[in-house]
Amino acid sequence: MARRRRISNSKIKCCSSTSTSTSAAVPFTPEPEPDPDKIRKVPQLNTLFRRFWKVAAPYWYSDDKAQARLQLASVFALTLATTGISVGFNFLGRDFYNALANKDQEQFTKQLLYYLAAFAGGIPIFVLRDYARETLALRWRSWMTKHYMERYLNNQTFYKIQSQSIIDNPDQRIVDDLSSFSGTALSFSLTFFNAAVDLISFSNILYGIYPPLFVVLLLYSIGGTVISVFLGKGLVSLNFLQEKKEADFRYGLVRVRENAESIAFYGGEDNEMQLLLQRFRSAFDNLTQLLISSRNLEFFTNGYRYLIQILPAAVVAPMYFSGKIEFGVINQSVSAFNHILGDFSLIVYQFQAISAFSAVIDRLGEFDDVLDSSNSKGLSDSLETICLTFNNAINSPVLESNGSMPAEESRKLLDVENLTLQTPTSKATLVRDLSLVIDEKEHLLVTGPSGSGKTSLLRAMAGLWSTGRGKITFYVTVGENFEGPTSSDFTSLEVNLQNTNGEFKKPTKRNSRGIFFLPQRPYMVLGTLRQQLLYPTWAEEMIPPPDSTKPAGSLPFLMRGEDSENVSVKSSKPSTDEMTQALENVRLGYILSRFGLDSTSEWSSVLSLGEQQRLAFARLLLSKPKLVLLDESTSALDEANEAHLYQQIEAAGITYISIGHRRTLYDFHNRVLRISTIDPNSSERNWQIESINRESLYNISKKM
């Protein structure tokens, strides 16, 4: 089960000057905590208000603020109109019943017609108010969804949240919590606004009829509110946990779907059933608690609601009997009394909804804090981290010591200086004091026992991990169409990672900088084969048909703004022929006849692991990076296919660093970095680099 941990203000210290380098990851330093279910406390009121404001406010100051405020004003105007109509009905009711009591048929018919006309005119206003409110809630939700998804996917926050178990179920917070936040926040604002206007309107009426009745009502409501807050105070945390447990249960089911084949091979159905039932039971137990608390509150609220129903009629009836008021006034006072009672008793009547909403605010506020913490650079300077820098190597071959150009240009692509790498949470050292340089066409093989830290080294190079110290610098020529800064010196492209909002932006688009990572597990995106091939360098846009009847442009903020940084460096999208050729080059041409480029499938299921690995190489050949880091990327392939793929990427002029265990990999590399499992009691380095004589290996393999 995902565990919630407190986000501390992480500390970061980059090894070189801040003007030219940026630490690549904002480390969370979560502290292990006991089971969150047990420590979940009712949030303080001021924390709830702060979180509500933090989550709610940005939209109303966003690019869409003009539309948002206009629509909000219309919703409030329609709400005012509906209150006016209610007051009108109150007076109509009085005259209607007066006519009835007076047996005045002519007046009665007239009042009946007025009533019908008022219905015909008034009811559309009620419907339009609800429609306008829901449209605005949808617009608000759409904006927030994009806002949260951007921050979630920025700066590898999704990876940190998942790998360090920082908060539970971010997906549920984006889907369900945002939806209920926008809808409920709007309807509550309107309910409170409506109640205030209603209160003013009907207080006048009731106070005019009989002032003491108004005072009794006031005292009754205040007492009721205090008691219901006392009785229902546990509901907020129960609602919070309910959301979490439901999401955990759903996530368990999603995992069964995603890992269907592995589970089926293991025959793990019984275990899965057990685990899923455990999660469901947990949700069920909490819901039972929630129902008991709600029931106790309901005893009170229902009693509160019905106890006072006949009071107004009982109090004003003597005035009617003594002839001081007409019969219709009794009806009017009952109606006004109920309105005011409803207004004063909002907290009593809505307590369950308010507590559920508080849980949503709490979960979203917590998520918002995590996203801010990951995306902001406002961190103090007391903890060392690995410094990752990307330098523009345009026109920057390695110069000889006398400053002249070397006869054969060999360009430095990667420089690792005194890198000590630690795991993010436990800070266990994996690699100590590593220094190495990779020049163009100098292919490095990384080997070592399982668990020694080979993949973690790649994680540090990708900026996923930054715990430890030392410096990693990539010197890569960006795409051919690069129009950004060019300098004869090494120019850091990461100088301006902090945007105007002070947000810390990480170099997530490494592939557009000429660096590509192939992870251990090939990742197949949801979409067509074409989209697989374009991933992650290019995106296949969905272009709406010109005669689209959808209200295109009604939510302009949902369009993906082009990232100016990447527009300038991205090369043009490969053509269908190039994609077909890339598939042929990795010996996957046959899948085209099976599926075609534009068919959609569950690719991770329909392609074998080896085919997925070959597809990943096809991506590589299309993207043509300068440097690629391969993490056991050919582990599922036979030796012939492995050799073929390495020949292809070498022929494409791609320099590669591979992690692998197989002896056959030595044939395709010039040097080997051996990492050994670290001895915690020693301060010695746990790595060594050796040259591989590819010629002799080639001759040996020919003789064999």
Contact residues for ligand ATP (CB under 6 A)? Answer: 163, 423-426, 430, 448, 450-456
Q: Closer CB to ligand ATP, residue 55 or residue 460?
A: 460
Q: Closer CB to ligand ATP, residue 349 or residue 465?
A: 465
Rounded least distance, CB 454 to ligand ATP, Å: 4
What are the b/e assignments for 433-456, b being 16+ CB within 10 Å?
bbebbbbbebbbbbbbeeebbbbb
Contact assessment for residue 375 and residue 154, using Cβ atoms and an 8 Å cutoff? yes
Q: Closer CB to ligand ATP, residue 189 or residue 423?
A: 423
Contact assessment for residue 645 and residue 477, using Cβ atoms and an 8 Å cutoff? no
Range 129-137 contact pairs with CB under 8 angstroms and sequence separation of 24 or more: 129/75, 129/78, 129/79, 129/81, 129/82, 132/71, 132/74, 132/75, 132/78, 133/75, 133/186, 133/187, 133/190, 134/183, 135/71, 136/68, 136/71, 136/72, 136/75, 136/186, 137/182, 137/183, 137/186, 137/187
Q: Closer CB to ligand ATP, residue 358 or residue 455?
A: 455
Rounded least distance, CB 151 to ligand ATP, Å: 21
Rounded least distance, CB 370 to ligand ATP, Å: 17
CA gap 458, 630 in Å, rounded:
9
Rounded least distance, CB 633 to ligand ATP, Å: 12
Give the burial class of 22: count Cβ atoms within 10 A of its Cβ; 0-12 exposed, 13-18 middle, 19 or more buried.
Answer: buried
Q: Closer CB to ligand ATP, residue 245 or residue 459?
A: 459
Rounded least distance, CB 163 to ligand ATP, Å: 5
Q: Closer CB to ligand ATP, residue 593 or residue 681?
A: 681
Rounded least distance, CB 86 to ligand ATP, Å: 59
Rounded least distance, CB 473 to ligand ATP, Å: 21
**Among 61, 159, 140, 76, which residue's Cα sits nearest to residue 364?**
140
Q: Closer CB to ligand ATP, residue 164 or residue 187?
A: 164
Rounded least distance, CB 172 to ligand ATP, Å: 22
Q: Closer CB to ligand ATP, residue 588 or residue 657?
A: 657
Contact assessment for residue 156 and residue 464, using Cβ atoms and an 8 Å cutoff? yes
Q: Closer CB to ligand ATP, residue 328 or residue 660?
A: 660
State the DSSP string of 637-695: S-HHHHHHHHHHHHHTT-EEEEE---GGGGGG-SEEEEE----TT--S--EEEEE--HH
Range 286-293 contact pairs with CB under 8 angstroms and sequence separation of 24 or more: 286/238, 286/241, 286/242, 286/245, 287/242, 289/238, 290/235, 290/238, 290/239, 290/242, 293/232, 293/234, 293/235, 293/238
Q: Closer CB to ligand ATP, residue 51 or residue 454?
A: 454
Contact assessment for residue 391 and residue 485, using Cβ atoms and an 8 Å cutoff? no
Rounded least distance, CB 456 to ligand ATP, Å: 3
Rounded least distance, CB 460 to ligand ATP, Å: 10
Rounded least distance, CB 486 to ligand ATP, Å: 36
**Among 368, 440, 459, which residue's Cα sits nearest to residue 148?**
368
Instruction: For strands 387-392 and 468-476, give the pairing.
Output: parallel
- State both tokens at 647: 């020949």
Q: Closer CB to ligand ATP, residue 521 or residue 594?
A: 521
